[in-house]
Structure 1
């Protein structure tokens, strides 16, 4: 039997601390439940689920569990799972566990996603939104999920530095429309989503935050080097801490007349997996990471997808086309699922995109910076927020990254033309 006392796993110089309770005994329970002919575990390997230097998770411990098993007939087979569990308070990020993102994700995988898929099943269509959840538990407040490993079914992410091409964007937008439509019908049938899906978490004390002040100072310094003919036009429009918080709060304003859906909440290419043919035709699309789902305008997911994950040549030029693709499929799905309320008009969706246009700036300033950073083992969100010289050096590096500069040179004029930088 393998020795499970080792509490670290490593892959290409990446070291992850593994809690001692993640061991053979833990997975025997799962295997006995799923495989009637299961006899014993021959070997269990734990490796990081993300490649080294990629955008890392600051909220979860994410592992790929590979298990060689022997069946009662003597034959062997291999099983692979993705395991996701909460980081410990000792890791210095215990505050994250107070945000209820894990209870929310557990509800999504166990209850809500299967019910969204069932809505299509009732209409004779097979639609899947996520990997199968094999196991979900809450042990004294520690939540863990064991998920299907989509890699074994030839699912993969695109290159985040390149973004989705037009064909891929169309399919992803249509899949998002299917998810949103089902979520709206779920709400119609069942009433409000649980409280965690209604609650908002706004940054507090930003006006006293040295981190935010350091970031906007570094950002403005970098903007002056990007190549704008009039950089002051844009640097003068970077929101103050108060403007930032107030603009974020307005995005969550609960307008009872506005069409709403359950947003994925972190909808970029890293959380979107494609199963494609050798000819690059997409067969299936699945989403992962449902920790930030939020009831509200679909503008949140649309802004983040378009800004953070479309190819640079498409992001602003095809923006209105992307909204139309999404809207067309959304209406088809709402009709299929017998949505009883008035169907949202295309012009209403465009108005919502403007009303919630802060998401365009927010995702550019917050998310796109790290998404477009080439593989860097030293990159981290905490380092981006660190006041002082070390933070300044890292911010200067990421804010002048040529891929990010190229994106920003088209995004900021686009936002300005639409009046979305008037904080």
Structure 2
């Protein structure tokens, strides 16, 4: 599979090549840092795979060339349906292995270079975050008026308008006193593939794809994005704390396996970070959760997500008004509200 950049003016102005190309970043992740993670596990006798093999073409053009995983029994799942508990725990185990290795790697080799560790949390990414959050508030508010019980949190979301980007960027500020990892930062169903036994259909493994916006920092970034965007509605909130415990147990297991030399985080530490960085839940709601639950439409495109055309406005209206999306909003937004994630407190 060959990945190349879009060529539209909207893409180039929002995500085009600035100081570093996201394609160069992803190729470095595959060919340098993921290989380092895998070697850490090999050194203690465990084979762990995180994704497809990556190849380099002798060309100056931006690209990422990846192995096709389908012949090996991998497939994606229907994103709109969400995944069940078994699939969720499989992904959380993979994230725990990834996070553990990424933390041990810093302990032994030092910090990641900034183009790897910053993700979208820089001047180049600020415009993208703003378009995904503050600019989408009017669409969210219009949708909320059609949802029963929205009065409880409507004013809080309205009060967030104009402040969300700064609050999101605050999530990216590294707290050296916290347990920090290199987050995948785009962990949702479109970037996950599952391997099944061809005869029994049993789930065997899960792989992560698309390493373009990794971010060093709190584990809350990956955990909130994945659990709010990709799980079935009936377990999304009801089993959130249970899933965090499953992740935590795997994280500690693999940190110990890799002989992590620093203080191990406690389960309370993880929950504190999830609460502290709760605004990331709103980011997940208006970004990856909306995309994951979008009805099939030919109007879905990068340009229609960000441009100012009438067609783009119609697409964004559709994006935030789907029946399934509203069903999830009705559950997730009150949950975020009750956790304090929608408060516009002074930072």
- Residue 286 of structure 2 is aligned with which of 365, 377, 388? 365
SS class of match (1:143) = coil
Alpha-carbon offset, residue 395 of structure 1: 3.0
Deviations 1:53-111 (A, max 9, x none): xxxxxxxxxxxxxxxxxxxxxxxxxxxxx1122334x6653342225312211111111
Query: Of Structure 1 and Structure 2, which has the larger fraction of its residues in strand?
Result: 1
Higher relative contact order (CA closer than 8 Å, sequence separation 6+): 2
What residue is the counterpart of 2:68 in the other structure?
149
Asked whether 1:179 is paired with 2:98, we answer yes
Equivalent residue for 1:336? Answer: 257
2:2 corresponds in structure 1 to: 83
1:203 to 116, 119, 126: 126
Q: Is the 8 A contact 2:227 2:236 kept in 1?
A: yes
Question: Secondary structure at 2:66's aligned position in 1?
Answer: strand
Structure 2 residue runs of 5 or longer lacking an equivalent are: none
Give the direction of change, closer, same or farther, for the CA distance of 1:280–1:422 in structure 2 (3 Å limit): farther
Matched, 1:319 2:240: yes
Distance 2:326 2:180 in 1: 33
Residue 415 of structure 1: aligned partner:
336
CA contact (8 A) 2:237 2:331 kept: yes
Q: Secondary structure at the match of 1:105?
A: helix
**For the pair shown, which has the larger CA radius of gyration, 1 or 2?**
1
1:370-409 per-position Cα deviation (integer Å, ceiling 9, x unaligned): 2101221112343244446544433332222110000000
1:272 paired to 2:203: no
C-alpha contact 2:26 2:211 (8 A) present in aligned 1: yes
Quick check: 1:383–1:394 contact (8 Å CA) kept in 2?
yes
- Of 159, 163, 166, 1:243 maps to 163
More helix by share: 2
Task: Give yes or no for contact 2:134–2:164 (8 Å, CA) kept in 1.
Answer: no
User: Aligned residue for 2:52?
Assistant: 131
Structure 1 alignment gaps of length 5 or more? 1-81
Q: Distance in 2 between matches of 1:218 and 1:272?
A: 28
1:188 aligns with 2:112: no
Cα deviation, residue 416, structure 1: 0.9
TM-score (norm. length: structure 1): 0.74
Aligned residue for 1:109? 30
Shift in CA distance, 346/153, structure 1 to aligned 2, threshold 3 Å: same
TM-score by length of 2: 0.90
Residues 218 and 396 of structure 1 are in contact (CA less than 8 Å); yes or no, is this contact kept in structure 2?
A: yes
Alpha-carbon distance in 2 for matches of 1:163, 1:408 = 14
1:226–1:405 contact (8 Å) kept in structure 2: yes
Number of residue-to-residue matches in the alignment: 335
